[in-house]
Amino acid sequence: MRIAIASDHAGFDLKQDIARWLADEGHVVTDCGPQSNARVDYPDFGYKLALAVTGGASDFGIAICGSGIGISIAVNRHPKMRCALVNEPLSAMLAREHNDANAIALGARLGGIDMAKACIAAFMVGRFEGGRHEGRVDKLSSPPFVPQTVS
């Protein structure tokens, strides 16, 4: 799959480890930054991730900050993004099945690399169930939740 990944400084090391793992697994990884663990602001990189996914360059996104909270809010500001903050695989799978999520957020200071991998693996296995969930997902990208200017 084509996977975009972004973090802040707190999530940088986990981002590097996950990106390497995904590439080793044969996926095409787009690294939206940052390129070091120097202090940055998570909204900037959540925004880059949203553009990488909504622009079609990536199938889904992985967003990482210290707790996952800040960057998940940032990604979800984009009306076409559905980013699920998860810390275990069941939530990651439900995010796909029920919410057709196109991104997951992880908290690098709260969970470790193996749990992160398990969440990402579950996310990739999950398939949107459609049906009754479809109208709800559509509403997330419809008025009053849009229009939103994203240039």
* Residues 150, 56: Cα–Cα separation, whole Å: 15
Q: Which two tokens stand for residue 134?
A: 């479809």
Give the x-and-dash track for 59-78 against a second copy (CB under 8 A): -------xx-xx-xxx-xxx
Helix H or strand E segment including 103: strand 103-107
Strand order in the sheet with 2-7: 28-31, 2-7, 60-65, 103-107, 83-85
Q: Tell me whether residue 29 or residue 32 sits nearer to a second copy (CB atom).
A: 32
98: annotated active-site residue: yes
Q: Tell me whether residue 69 or residue 113 sits nearer to a second copy (CB atom).
A: 69
Neighbour tally for 9: CB within 10 Å: 18
Answer yes or no whether residue 54 interacts with a second copy by CB under 8 A.
no
Give the x-and-dash track for 2-41 against a second copy (CB under 8 A): -------------------------------------x-x
Contacts with a second copy in 112-141 (CB under 8 A)?
Answer: 132, 135-136, 139-140
Residues labelled as active-site residues: 65, 98
